[in-house]
Structure 1
Amino acid sequence: MDIEITNSHIDQVAVINIDGEIIQVNRLWEENDNNPFAVQTGNDYLKLLNELDELAAYNGITDVLNGKMTYFHTTYASSLSTEIKSFSMLVTPLLEDKIIIGATIILRDVSENENEQMEVYDVLESMTDAFISLDKNWKFTYINKEAERLLFASKEELLGQDIWGRFPEAINTVFDENYTKTMKKREQTRFEAYYEPFDAWFEVNSYPKENGGISVYFNNINDKKVRERMLWDTAHHDYLTEIPNRLLLYKNLENKIADSIPFVIFFLDLNNFKLINDAYGHDIGDEFLVEVTNRLKDELTSKYFLSRFGGDKFILYTEYIDEFQVQSDAYQILAVIEKPFKNTALPPMNMSASLGVSIFPEDGNNVDSLITAADTAMYEAKKIKGDQWIRYNREMSKLLNRRLIIEKSLEQAVINKEVYPVFLPQVDILNNKITGIEVLTRWNHPELGVIHPKEFIPVAEETGQIRMLTEYIIDTSLFIYTKWGKIYNFSEEVSFNISSTLLNEPSFVSFLLYQVNKHSISRDKIAIEITENSQLYSSSVILNHLHDIREAGIRIVIDNFGIGYSNLAYIVNLPLSKVKIDKFFINSIGNNQKAEAILQSIIGLANNMKIDILVDGIKTKEQIEFLHVHKCTLVQGPFYDDPLTEEQFNYRLQQFGIQYSDRL
């Protein structure tokens, strides 16, 4: 057998004959001492393999010599030295005239390749991401430990298995869609998907492999989804009541509009809620809002979407059926609010609400216009007082625009002195002399003309501009009052209407005392008029401030007495100097015997308590005579004078002093 083996070959090469004897080797084979398979010429190679119990190599070479295999390939490790080596063995038949006469054995040191593979293996196994490899037939060819954990299956269970057969629930899902795209279009895909059998969200990256299969990296992102959901809930739900907020409301309404489904919006605003905050504090106010929310959720059906629009405002919407349904729903919502609150953590109280209604698509074709319409209708309902609802109509938009003008221009009106004080004389009917003046406020708007206080004072209250307005009127009026004192020796009592909200603020009480001192006015010449409401009887802060004001020498008057809370038991606790009886009772003289009887009782009660009484709204001589008979001598109203401007009161003082002609 004449075979030449080149010594320039980079591998170890040997030739064996048909019996397995080594008949020729190259230099690398001869020089190798780390390979037990690289024995020298003359040795029986097959016998050696048999003795080393390397049956795979023995059988492979035998099969090549016998013509059963066209070639044989295997790898093995050598540990004859301190360094472990890995070798690749390739056996091919040696032919002469197409007859197998032996075989060529090529040995290659593949230790570096083997180490690289081991490094790849170590990396894959130590990855925090799960990893699987699929061949072009969708069969698992590799699974790392993290993938075993997330797929709840071992390598032994998965290797060689079809992924769709093993996980049929993933067929026709985003997993199927993206894996197929990577496999067929050879495009990387990245996606997040929920796999229901594991109740788990996965983040997945799939890559095409050179051999036609795909490699998939994935991990469980349940924790991430929980955090995302928490962030979403925080962004879309009210922190206090935990119901949907304005953002989520807008999104849902936009979807409803896109679907062209008619719906009705109910804009709900609690009446006088600010008084609760001022009387009991914001903590109690927050608890009250939670109580309102829970009641709306518990007592209304699930057909309503309930959201907190802000403050004490809520918006509900539901499918629109007909006008009868709108009316029925409105009364149902109001009825839920007006029931007495029984939460022992809250003070006993009743609440009412105002409700504005708008309908899509009749009242608007976008969220803002529909909510604005319902808001406009709500403000009209609020003017009526009590539990009321009003359906929006387009005429209301004019009223809303007017209100917005008032709200935005009030501060500038004070600066421009469009707002000014007027003075209503208070008269003793026994001697027809002015005993005091009540300061009222007027506004002559350059665009809207004269605006009545009943219109702009509530706006000032709601927008927080009432303090600015009140402080301006007090300072201006006291300046004028001081001039009258110097010129006309006028020194009668001057009274100001003060919001209960302001009495809740210590700084305003300080401002009031500062103004009196600033203008050098005796404190017993100053009175503040406050309207009856629950705050006066329930807020310890306001009660303390009223006592401070009274102890400072300033007189305190209850305004509109008889038509508010009129809780006579609590009047004992208020440091009152005077009560002003509402004009409702004086207008009832000669017309309503019950009202007359109540008026007589109030006069008698006040006289017995040695509290001054002033009756508002006097128009006729008959009314004067009635009051004279029942020993009520202080009055104000058009029978004597309407409110007078500074110039008009100047004229009265200049021409007539404080005396009126005999009216009895």
Structure 2
Amino acid sequence: MNSHTILGIMQTDIMESLLTAQQQRLMDTLLDNLDGMIYRCLYDDSWTMIYVSKGCEMLTGYPPFSLLLNKETSYERITHPDDREMARGIIAEAVSKHERFELEYRIIRADGEVLWVAERGSGVFDDGGQPVALEGIIQDISRRKQIEQALFSTEQKYRSMFDNSTLGMFQTTESGTYLNANPALAKLYGYASAAELISDLNNISTQLYVSENRRSEFTEAIRSYGRVQNFESEVYQHDGKAIWISENAHAVYDTLGNILYYEGTVEDITERKNHERQIRQLAVTDNLTGLLNRHAFSGKLASLIAEADKMQRKIAIAFIDLDHFKLINDTLGHRAGDKLLEKVAQRLIQSTRPTDEIVRFGGDEFVMLYPGLRSVDDAEPLLARVMETISQPIEINDYVFNMTCSVGVSIYPDHAQDIDTLLSCADSALYSAKNAGKNKAQMFSGTLAQQLGERNEIEYGLGHALQREELMLYYQPKINMQHGNISALEALIRWQHPERGLIPPDQFIPVAEETGHIFAIGEWVLQTACQKIKSMQKEWGYLVPVAVNVSPIQFLRGNLVETVQRVLRQQRVPPHLLTLEVTENARFKDEAMFTRTLEQLKHLGVCIAIDDFGIGYSNMAYLKNYPIDELKIDKAFVQDLEQSVTNGNILLALVNLGKSLHKSVTAEGIETEYQHQFLLHSGCDVGQGYYYSRPLSEQALAEFMRKQKPKFDHLQRVAG
């Protein structure tokens, strides 16, 4: 067994041990922090405890060790004498049926205080199905019992008025269950009796309100203002029919200031809401979606601005554009596109507050108006809700679409005071969100305006960069870690802008991808890199492999295979000397295209490397099955290696993963001797980074090659 194998086994054992200890600590912490006492006891006459959590002392007043094995007392003796027989009966019946048990009873604490507790658990059975133990959780419910008693006293006082009111009246817990309801409320909601309503509506948030967030808005308003007035919501009746109600409610507190329950009244306002809806639809609604149309937008925003000025509030204007809608519309037809827009509109309605406004601006563009904001930060949860709502799968004509949207936002009065400028700011932010890869929300800022100006300048300049010969390749050596020899060069594109100087690729490649310039630039890179392979052979007599980066757009949407084949034929370069580097995220844009293109490229004889490995969506399946030659570990795991044990562990795991799959492993971003030595001893094949050399211009590369000439002997032997 060689040293690398022993090292790998030791590393695996250490990591598994650390993981097991960490999981045990996590489990202990979770059990100890639960509200109540977790237990396991023998199924005997004394309920002999064999495990109790730390919650025991807070619940019973006894430290855990005093209950273990019934050393000082037993849980049987703690249980109130009047409740012991009842508790045993319920548990015994559940255990005999192999069912879970739930019960409520009293216990006597160490200080003599009597508490009400709720116990939930189940039996533990041996291989023959016989019960040997019980396990479960016991929690204090005394406060709830006090509330129930207080409610009972209050109910006796006000029952007559409550029962005979023509208004719907209620009392609910803060968490969303009905404690009380009068006959008028039961009738309003379509129930035969108040008891039936209370029994059926056990989760107000999900069963009553049409909008899933409406209950949380109700409770938040009461927490903030102490009450709600004319709180209008759409709710479901018992038969599923939706009606509109208006609620007035407040919180009732105990002497310590804790909320006991909410109480209030409910009025049916469906007729009024329907009348308002009919009036609103006249001339200002979109025929397809029923939303406000573009003609109504300016007037609505103007009225909201006037109200915002009066109340000293802000308004968020959000431009929403559906990502890839044109593709769906062109593929399945306008009828399917219209249905999609209708469903999106319905979801937008469900995701908004009653005060918000939605406008269909045209095509697949919507505008959301969020008034009443105190700060810019208030807009964030509203936008997140919209994006989450739209992202849910939509089914149309047996097709299921996973839609996303891009959002651009401007704020009144922070970004502008007039409607036209606000729209322009939101539109610019939307443009930035789409350029950033879509499925994003972008807030307008002065920095954004500057970035957009710079981006437009780059887009214009790219159209002439190739013709004016402003693009150039720099070359960074890749070093064989074991022998110190140069194994290859990576070609890195730069743009020598006539006014802005040297521009790195991360500033112009995204623009090139968006505008389509990436295809011409990508072919130029391939041509230039292959020419470099030939020139190095002619000048120094070495065949040096060269790697080039391939954009996911170029990889998946261009005729990359044909381009590579043509360039190799024109330059007469052996295919194995060319490596194409592609990020692993490319496979998730179109898995089938990714696989097909990889196989066709390998058929040409070129090498394939996965760049930025480890930060995307790596999995064993594609590493094992795809024709990949090299894994390039992202520099994020190499940086701060001296201070980060985690980075070191990840690096070792990634190197071992590559080795086990028989792939060449390259580490990027090596800058220090420590990093070099660490990766050398980890078994990494190739190193790349400033420790060996920065990216070099043509002239600097020539000087580097002359100094490193003795280290090229292995390349010459390969060539020979």
Tell me the TM-score range normalised by the shorter chain: 0.5 to 0.7
CA contact (8 A) 1:434 1:658 kept: no
2:382 matched to which residue of 1?
Answer: 332
2:511 matched to which residue of 1?
Answer: 459
Equivalent positions of 1:306-325 (< 5 A) are: 306-307=359-360, 314-324=365-375
User: 1:255-287: CA deviations, max 9, x gaps?
Assistant: 4576664643224467xx679989xx9769x98
1:556 has 2:608 as partner:
yes
CA distance in 2, matches of 1:323, 1:595: 42
CA contact (8 A) 1:407 1:463 kept: yes
Equivalent positions of 1:463-612 (< 5 A) are: 463-505=515-557, 507-533=559-585, 535-536=587-588, 538-612=590-664
User: 1:355-410: CA deviations, max 9, x gaps?
Assistant: 44213455346666334423444577789999865543334322221111111211
Gap change, CA 1:655 and 1:598, over 3 Å in 2: closer
Aligned amino acid, residue 320 of structure 1: P
Gap change, CA 1:637 and 1:269, over 3 Å in 2: farther
**Secondary structure, aligned partner of 2:477:** strand
**Secondary structure, aligned partner of 1:417:** coil
**Secondary structure, aligned partner of 1:659:** helix
Gap change, CA 1:379 and 1:436, over 3 Å in 2: farther
CA contact (8 A) 1:603 1:630 kept: yes
1:418 matched to which residue of 2?
Answer: 470
Gap change, CA 1:594 and 1:361, over 3 Å in 2: closer
**TM-score where L is the length of structure 1:** 0.55
Gap change, CA 1:428 and 1:348, over 3 Å in 2: farther
Displacement after TM superposition at 1:506 (Å): 5.9
- Choose the corresponding residue for 1:304, options 349, 357, 361: 357
CA distance in 2, matches of 1:429, 1:275: 49
CA contact (8 A) 2:536 2:544 kept: no
Displacement after TM superposition at 1:423 (Å): 1.2
Aligned amino acid, residue 604 of structure 1: N
Gap change, CA 1:427 and 1:381, over 3 Å in 2: same
- Choose the corresponding residue for 1:399, options 451, 456, 466: 451
1:626 has 2:678 as partner:
yes
Q: Which consecutive unaligned segments of at least 5 residues does structure 1 have?
A: 1-228
Aligned amino acid, residue 359 of structure 1: I
User: 1:71-115: CA deviations, max 9, x gaps?
Assistant: xxxxxxxxxxxxxxxxxxxxxxxxxxxxxxxxxxxxxxxxxxxxx
CA distance in 1, matches of 2:682, 2:620: 20
- Choose the corresponding residue for 2:426, options 360, 371, 374: 374
Displacement after TM superposition at 1:437 (Å): 1.3
Displacement after TM superposition at 1:597 (Å): 1.7
**Secondary structure, aligned partner of 2:409:** strand
Gap change, CA 1:282 and 1:621, over 3 Å in 2: farther
Equivalent positions of 1:189-200 (< 5 A) are: none
Whose helix fraction is larger, Structure 1's or Structure 2's? 2
Equivalent positions of 1:334-373 (< 5 A) are: 334-338=384-388, 341-343=392-394, 355-360=407-412, 362-364=414-416, 369-373=421-425
Equivalent positions of 1:14-53 (< 5 A) are: none
Aligned amino acid, residue 643 of structure 1: P
Displacement after TM superposition at 1:508 (Å): 2.7
Between the aligned residues of both structures, percent identity stands at 26
CA distance in 2, matches of 1:409, 1:243: 44
Gap change, CA 1:589 and 1:660, over 3 Å in 2: farther
User: 1:326-363: CA deviations, max 9, x gaps?
Assistant: 533332222342476445767897x8766442134553
Displacement after TM superposition at 1:570 (Å): 2.7
Aligned amino acid, residue 652 of structure 1: F
CA distance in 2, matches of 1:476, 1:244: 55
Ranked by relative contact order (alpha carbons within 8 Å, sequence separation 6 or more), the top structure is 1
Equivalent positions of 1:202-281 (< 5 A) are: 249=294, 251-255=295-299, 261=306, 263-268=315-320
CA contact (8 A) 1:506 1:545 kept: no
**Secondary structure, aligned partner of 1:421:** strand
Gap change, CA 1:437 and 1:275, over 3 Å in 2: farther
Alignment: residue pair count: 415
User: 1:393-431: CA deviations, max 9, x gaps?
Assistant: 334322221111111211112221222211111111222
CA contact (8 A) 2:479 2:686 kept: yes
Aligned amino acid, residue 708 of structure 2: F
User: 1:445-470: CA deviations, max 9, x gaps?
Assistant: 22333322222111122222221221
Q: Which consecutive unaligned segments of at least 5 residues does structure 2 have?
A: 1-280, 309-314, 714-720
Displacement after TM superposition at 1:621 (Å): 0.8
Gap change, CA 1:359 and 1:275, over 3 Å in 2: closer
CA contact (8 A) 1:257 1:365 kept: no
CA distance in 2, matches of 1:547, 1:499: 17
CA contact (8 A) 1:536 1:543 kept: no
Gap change, CA 1:392 and 1:405, over 3 Å in 2: same
Aligned amino acid, residue 328 of structure 1: D
1:132 matched to which residue of 2?
Answer: none
CA RMSD in angstroms comes to: 4.0
CA distance in 2, matches of 1:474, 1:310: 40
CA distance in 2, matches of 1:524, 1:395: 45
Gap change, CA 1:322 and 1:296, over 3 Å in 2: closer
Equivalent positions of 1:89-108 (< 5 A) are: none
CA distance in 2, matches of 1:660, 1:588: 31
CA distance in 1, matches of 2:325, 2:492: 22
Displacement after TM superposition at 1:618 (Å): 0.4
Gap change, CA 1:269 and 1:561, over 3 Å in 2: farther
CA distance in 2, matches of 1:436, 1:492: 6
Using the TM superposition, name which of 286-295 and 365-374 deviates more: 286-295
CA distance in 1, matches of 2:677, 2:537: 32
**TM-score where L is the length of structure 2:** 0.51
Displacement after TM superposition at 1:608 (Å): 1.1
CA distance in 1, matches of 2:463, 2:494: 14
CA distance in 2, matches of 1:277, 1:575: 31
CA contact (8 A) 2:552 2:586 kept: no
CA contact (8 A) 2:556 2:590 kept: no
CA contact (8 A) 1:537 1:543 kept: no
Displacement after TM superposition at 1:559 (Å): 0.7
Gap change, CA 1:537 and 1:402, over 3 Å in 2: closer
User: 1:471-502: CA deviations, max 9, x gaps?
Assistant: 22222232233222211223222111112222
